[in-house]
């Protein structure tokens, strides 16, 4: 019996060591046999291996109280918070309800729509492609010599379209602004004008904007553009020969051990099993649908076409897996990254990127980077601080604060984190207590 017990301990230790070396080797997963082992479906995703109880830590009581206070103030049904310190996940906890009607508490496993945080995922994929020489950041996107030179993209009224590069799409300088509305949220109008059924897809939206002149010369200034990142999703698909989501999940997320992140769905009945429910502010009525003709449906479900937003705003994630991506594009000393230091610098230094960070919403030049995202029924905030902290807060409710809520959340949560006196030594990224073992008898011998 003792031999069996020792064998079990040895096997468990071997698995932990294998996981460690996988993390070290993740920058080149195609050459890693360890990586192939870890893709086994028997190893649970990070959020499923942890629970709220693991983050019942006295030093984080003020953080929890701060988030709970804001939830009460703005009638937020549920929130999920994760904190990483020096590349280690030290806190991951849900507060409130994933489904208020069912009284289901939020746990780390729950997925939230992250809206424009999706742009950070897309930008990471593009930068990885540049490092692999699959494209150049200054490649032209449209026209006969462009990446998207398919016949459906060759009919445009403004020849300046041919000047748009991948860089312009990444840094929001492609030539489109939102003076007359954001085309990613003009589904009904686009469907009427080009005579299509709803919902319209990204290629249809590109055809629609090609019937109008650009608002400014590409590269001459910046103007935030959801459309630009949606087009980057088409670029990734064209170059890789894969669906955008499949490429990102297989080539970027899976090598990091991120299994749950994916493009969400628009309809309530299509939510994923561990996805939260979403809630409107009481001042929103049901006549705001932009994806269906003549049907009153709340904005949270079918009002925003999540699948079409895709690369610009369609991803769902848990905070813990989002931080796994953040710490892999972070330049933390001693921690491997999936991008080169040069790529990370290009993404975060506006002097190099061309006037706007790439993927991130903002950087301050001192090593603090942030990304926000807001849609009806959800808000997401992700930060990388220059003191080794990275953290994320996702909520499942709209508030009257709208897009200004993340700024208040930023101030309050950062203040609470400054009061943490002692950081845990554990790393919840590598917590395995709930992991099913490859051999059933090992679990019995633990």
Compute the average pLDDT of residues 32-48.
Answer: 54
Which pLDDT belongs to residue 33? 28
Compute the average pLDDT of residues 360-384.
Answer: 97
C-alpha closest to that of 38 among 51, 29, 50: 29
Report the distance separating Cα 348 and Cα 327, nearest Å. 14
Classify 125-240 by CATH class: alpha beta
Q: What is the pLDDT of residues 210-225, one digit of tens each?
A: 999 999 999 999 999 9
Q: In this predicted structure, which of 6-10, 192-196, 402-406, 413-417 has the lowest mean pLDDT? A: 6-10
Encoded tokens for 353: 């990127």
C-alpha radius of gyration, the chain, whole number? 22
Fold of 46-117+259-305+313-429: Beta-lactamase (3.40.710)
Which pLDDT belongs to residue 164? 98
Q: What angle do CA 119, 289, 228 make, to 5 degrees?
A: 25
CA atoms within 13 A on the CB side of 271: 17
Spatial CB neighbours of 8, under 8 Å, sequence gap ≥ 6: 441, 442, 445, 446
Q: How far apart are the first and last CA of the chain?
A: 12
Helices 202-209 and 226-240 cross at an angle (nearest 10°) of 120
Which pLDDT belongs to residue 296? 56
Which pLDDT belongs to residue 441? 37
Which pLDDT belongs to residue 335? 83
Same fold, 46-117+259-305+313-429 and 125-240: yes
Which pLDDT belongs to residue 297? 62
Domain ranges across the chain: 46-117+259-305+313-429, 125-240
Q: In this predicted structure, which of 67-76, 316-325, 399-408 has the lowest mean pLDDT? A: 399-408
Which pLDDT belongs to residue 292? 54
Q: Residue 201: is it exposed, middle or buried by C-beta count within 10 angstroms (0-12/13-18/19+)?
A: middle
Strand partners, 279: 397
Compute the average pLDDT of residues 176-182.
Answer: 90
432 band by pLDDT with thresholds 50, 70 and 90: confident
What pTM does this model have?
Answer: 0.88
342 band by pLDDT with thresholds 50, 70 and 90: very high
């Amino acid at each position: 019996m003792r031999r069996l017990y020792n064998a079990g301990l040895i096997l468990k230790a071997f698995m932990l060591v294998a996981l460690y070396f996988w993390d070290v080797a993740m920058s080149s997963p195609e050459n890693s046999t360890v990586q192939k082992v870890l893709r086994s479906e028997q190893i649970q995703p990070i959020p499923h291996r942890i629970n709220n109880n693991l983050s019942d830590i006295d030093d984080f009581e003020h953080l929890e109280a701060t988030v709970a206070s804001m939830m009460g103030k703005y009638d937020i049904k549920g929130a999920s918070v994760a904190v990483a310190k020096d590349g280690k996940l030290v806190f991951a906890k849900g507060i409130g309800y994933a489904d208020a009607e069912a009284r289901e508490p939020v746990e780390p496993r729950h997925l939230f729509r992250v809206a424009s945080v999706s742009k950070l995922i897309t930008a990471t994929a593009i930068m990885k492609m540049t490092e692999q020489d699959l494209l150049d950041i200054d490649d032209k996107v449209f026209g006969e010599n462009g990446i998207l030179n398919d016949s459906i993209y060759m009919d445009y009224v403004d020849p300046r379209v041919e000047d748009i590069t991948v860089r312009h799409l990444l840094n929001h300088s492609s030539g489109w602004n939102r003076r007359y509305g954001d085309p990613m949220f003009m589904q009904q109008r686009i469907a009427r004008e080009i005579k299509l059924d709803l919902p319209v897809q990204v290629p249809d939206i590109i055809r629609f904007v090609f019937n109008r002149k650009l608002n400014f010369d590409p590269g001459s200034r910046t103007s935030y553009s959801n459309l630009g990142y949606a087009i980057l999703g088409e670029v990734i698909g064209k170059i890789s020969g894969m669906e955008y989501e499949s490429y990102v999940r297989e080539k970027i997320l899976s090598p990091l051990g991120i299994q749950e992140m994916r493009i969400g769905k628009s309809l309530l009945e299509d939510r994923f099993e561990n996805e939260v429910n979403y809630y409107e502010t009481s001042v929103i009525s049901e006549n705001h649908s932009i994806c269906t003709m003549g049907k009153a449906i709340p904005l949270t479900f079918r009002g925003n076409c999540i699948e079409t937003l895709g690369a610009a705003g369609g991803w769902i994630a848990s905070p813990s897996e989002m931080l796994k991506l953040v710490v892999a594009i972070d330049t933390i000393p001693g921690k491997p990254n999936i991008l080169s230091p040069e790529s990370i610098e290009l993404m975060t230094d506006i002097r190099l990127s061309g006037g706007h960070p790439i993927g991130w919403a903002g950087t301050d030049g001192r090593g603090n980077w942030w990304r926000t995202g807001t849609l009806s029924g959800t808000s997401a905030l992700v930060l990388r601080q220059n003191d080794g902290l990275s953290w994320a807060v996702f909520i499942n409710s709209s508030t009257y604060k709208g897009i200004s809520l993340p700024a208040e959340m930023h101030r309050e949560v950062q203040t609470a984190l400054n009061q943490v006196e002692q950081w845990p030594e554990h790393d919840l990224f590598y917590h395995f207590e709930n992991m099913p073992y490859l051999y059933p008898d090992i679990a019995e011998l633990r």
